[in-house]
Amino acid sequence: MTTEQRDAAGPGTALPEDHLRSGSSVDDLRGAVLAKLAYAVGKTQPDASQRDWFLATALAVRDRIVQGWQNSYRATNAGGTKRVYYMSLEFLIGRLMFDALTNLGLTDAMREALSGLGVDLDTLREVEPDAALGNGGLGRLAACFMESMATLAVPAYGYGIRYENGLFRQVVKDGWQQEYPENWLSFGNPWEFARPEIAYDIGFGGHVETLPTEAGPPRYEWFPSETVEAVAYDTPVVGWRGQHVNTLRLWSARAGDPLRLDAFNQGDHVGAMADRVRAEAISKVLYPSDATPAGQELRLRQEYFFAAASLQDLVRRHLKKYPTLHNLPDKAAIQLNDTHPAIAVVELMRILVDLQTMPWAEAWEITQATFGYTNHTLLPEALETWPVPLMERLLPRHMQIIYLVNALHLDKLRAAGQSDVEVLRSVSIIAEGWGQQRVKMGTLAFIGSHRINGVSALHTDLMRQTVFRDLNALYPDRINNKTNGITFRRWLIEANPALTAILVDVLGPAVLDDPSRLEGLAAHAGDPALQARIRAAKRDNKLALGRIIAARTGVQVDPDALFDIQIKRIHEYKRQHLNLLETVALYNAIRAEPWRDWAPRVKIFAGKAAASYHTAKLIIKLANDVARTINDDPTVRGRLKVVFLPNYNVSLAERIIPAADLSEQISTAGMEASGTGNMKLALNGALTIGTLDGANVEIKERVGDDNIFIFGLTAEQVAERHRTGLSARDTIAASPRLAEVLEAVSSGVFSPDDTGRYKDFVQALSDNDHFLVTADFDAYYAAQRQVDALWRDEAAWWRCSIMNTARVGWFSSDRTIGEYARDIWNVPVAAAE
């Protein structure tokens, strides 16, 4: 910091001059790590474990973020710049050390600094716990967005929950998934700053009192029966080139009254703790939301807890600077990451109307102008609704507000001439039926927002046609598309340094700042020298993955075989079982004609099943059963191997994706809202085999039909099948190959220890094939044989691979965030360098 800058910042705001904190030479970094080891970790070099070295290194890196953090904060505050608040119940962050080092440009210097101490940076990388505060795509998207918002200098806060236990750790025992708790905080978290002074009271339960006023409508006051405190923990999020630093603020629950002293003093020590345990349960564990219909009360408590804490925080910030909340939409844009934080719409109304005594109509205008809502799934079982009695008990004032919002919304429609009862029913926030009223959170979020977006072009179209059809007809300009993206810093630069080095060499270093420059690679796609380099880099990545596979599963894989990858949550709509049935068909074909020149393949699966999702767990077992049978069969002679890699997480994805040749994106068309793994894999040079679903459609448009393998029913054809019937009997009868595969699985060929294991599973596929696995099977098998043919033509394969990397620059989350900033948030972004 220069003297001028310090003076401009004001008295007392400068950080201490301390080269150990700010210098970035190799010597500075080495000195800083040693100082942290001694004074923050409390260890000497000879006693330091790898974990101690990791903590010392992370703390030294963190010091180098703080200056930028404070500068960013001051600049935003002084300028009165509009802020973005990204509210998400999930942030699937993964590890942060390489993100920080990469974006600060310190990776090489730190590697050298540590090696002088006999410490290996890549070993420390593996020691960092993987922060899995999310289930899958939605949570990872939030993490990519945080990094892109920092990169584009969009002043933003991420708001979420600091779960003590992230997504469960998956252990595969005898082929079955087992879940174990993942306490990622047990050895401390060097990235966060606890802010015990930033704490808000969050109420639950109780009653509402109506207070008459002199003139005009009565006032309402909520008297909660229970109070939980939300305490802030801040993690700085540094953008590319370290210019701008934002805050991820996660809330932890603390009992308002930590101990019931009366009970304690009477000797009931356990009873005295009960309230505390109940309060603090709120931030204990991430809900595996792909699992149970999240009907549990605890989940609703989590949603309100973090929405209310975040709103109090941002309203307090606003009122510190401005005398009124009337200009809130000019200074704050709140994005709802799915409906999980949608109760915030109601909470803001309560703040404006009950606490700030603002007239209802004005409050509603401000609320709508402030909120945007992103939808991430159309699957009916995943659309959130809450029973009215539960809402009424937990949030009585909110339920009143919801009824009034709904009544006014429906009145307006009736006044405008809408009398169709079916339409009114469909656009009502309250669902009737099954003997119980429920609050439809998607409708609430829609009504309470000025913009609603889907996450791929197809998904957004389907939103307009299906779930939000009637709302879209009433408010035709509200729905817009924002195709997802991924941060190239993590998914290219950090995950695949070998490919990155080639790209920088061929296209110049500006490609790191401007992904559209990847396009320049297309001109060289046929160049044998470039192909050889790309291929060698991929081979090294495959060797590295092979070592992980051997260590974790004992299976040896051939780096020259095609690595065929399906990595994502296990779900019937994602159709890992379609892939497994094709694997069995290929196995049968190899055994029938072992003399043929089969293209060697390694099929790699990874992903977690929701703990209560029986069929998904059976699919994992099937993958392991098929793997064991095929890998042990000498007739296959290594030309086909199958691997299920346990405990898929962000860090494992970073190792698998750079080693992929083929990317499996084979969901039932219309069911995968976007997918983002598809983008990561294509960027790293994998060819996609996929359906016309989610963002696959847009990947195909960009890479071109010749560089992707598309197969299967379209979303429209799937909808048609759902209308006309799903019996697969005729399909199976018409496909001897499919019939043979199903018979083998059903009769126990892969489960000799329990021959009936897959009988019901296969039977269900034949009776009511909701996910159209059988309908797409032949087309998928044929597409896979086209993959084999291309793999044999090496020049053609690597040309395609290069074209994929060249043409997917558009899927950078910087582009996505630029679109949100322009079309939804109305905030400027920093120009690309």
> Which residues lie across from 454 on neighbouring strands?
481
> Could you tell me the smallest distance in angstroms from the CB atom of residue 137 to ligand 26V?
3
> Could you tell me the smallest distance in angstroms from the CB atom of residue 453 to ligand 26V?
10
376 CB-contact burial (10 Å; exposed 0-12 / middle 13-18 / buried 19+): buried
Active site residue 210: no
Q: Buried b vs exposed e over 647-658: b needs ≥16 C-beta within 10 Å?
A: bbbbbbbbbbbb
Name the residue nearer to ligand 26V (CB basis): 136 or 158.
Answer: 136
> Could you tell me the smallest distance in angstroms from the CB atom of residue 292 to ligand 26V?
8
> Which residues lie across from 247 on neighbouring strands?
157, 236
90 contacts 286 by C-beta, under 8 angstroms = yes
> Could you tell me the smallest distance in angstroms from the CB atom of residue 676 to ligand 26V?
5
Tokens of 703: 């890479």
Could you list the residues that contact ligand 26V (CB under 6 A)?
A: 136-138, 141, 289-290, 338, 376-377, 379, 381-382, 455, 484, 672-676, 694
* Rounded Cα–Cα distance for residues 453 and 361 (Å): 25
* Rounded Cα–Cα distance for residues 598 and 586 (Å): 10
Active site residue 574: yes
> Could you tell me the smallest distance in angstroms from the CB atom of residue 12 to ligand 26V?
43
Tokens of 553: 């599963």
459 contacts 453 by C-beta, under 8 angstroms = no
- The set of long-range contacts for 593-598, using a CB threshold of 8 Å and a minimum separation of 24, is 594/635, 594/637, 597/792, 598/639, 598/640, 598/788
Name the residue nearer to ligand 26V (CB basis): 376 or 799.
Answer: 376
Which residues, including other chains, have CB under 8 Å from residue 4's CB and lie 6 or more apart?
Answer: none
* Rounded Cα–Cα distance for residues 177 and 184 (Å): 20
> Could you tell me the smallest distance in angstroms from the CB atom of residue 380 to ligand 26V?
9
Instruction: List alpha helices for 220-355, DSSP H.
Output: 261-265, 269-280, 297-321, 328-331, 343-350
For helices 794-807 and 696-703, what crossing angle results, to 10°?
Answer: 110
Name the residue nearer to ligand 26V (CB basis): 367 or 374.
Answer: 374
Using alpha carbons, list the distances in angstroms from residue 365 to 298, 317, 326, 449.
31, 20, 10, 10
Name the residue nearer to ligand 26V (CB basis): 428 or 484.
Answer: 484
> Could you tell me the smallest distance in angstroms from the CB atom of residue 693 to ligand 26V?
9
Which residues, including other chains, have CB under 8 Å from residue 604's CB and lie 6 or more apart?
Answer: 549, 563, 564, 565, 566, 567, 643, 645, 656
Phi, psi at residue 828, to the nearest 5°? -80, 155
87 contacts 307 by C-beta, under 8 angstroms = yes
| Annotated catalytic residue within 301, 569, 575, 639 | 569
Name the residue nearer to ligand 26V (CB basis): 90 or 192.
Answer: 90
Which H or E run contains 60? helix 50-79
Which residues, including other chains, have CB under 8 Å from residue 409's CB and lie 6 or more apart?
Answer: 427, 429, 447
Single-letter residue type at 41: V
Active site residue 676: yes
Name the residue nearer to ligand 26V (CB basis): 708 or 745.
Answer: 708
Q: Which residue is nearest to ligand 26V (CB)?
A: 137
* Rounded Cα–Cα distance for residues 737 and 461 (Å): 36
Name the residue nearer to ligand 26V (CB basis): 664 or 672.
Answer: 672
**DSSP SS3 for 195:** strand
| Annotated catalytic residue within 376, 489, 571, 575 | 376
Active site residue 568: yes
> Could you tell me the smallest distance in angstroms from the CB atom of residue 651 to ligand 26V?
19
> Could you tell me the smallest distance in angstroms from the CB atom of residue 785 to ligand 26V?
28
DSSP type of residue 600: P
Name the residue nearer to ligand 26V (CB basis): 137 or 160.
Answer: 137
| Annotated catalytic residue within 340, 574, 575, 617 | 574
| Annotated catalytic residue within 397, 568, 621, 641 | 568
Name the residue nearer to ligand 26V (CB basis): 228 or 620.
Answer: 620
286 contacts 163 by C-beta, under 8 angstroms = yes
Residues known to be catalytic = 376, 568-569, 574, 676, 680
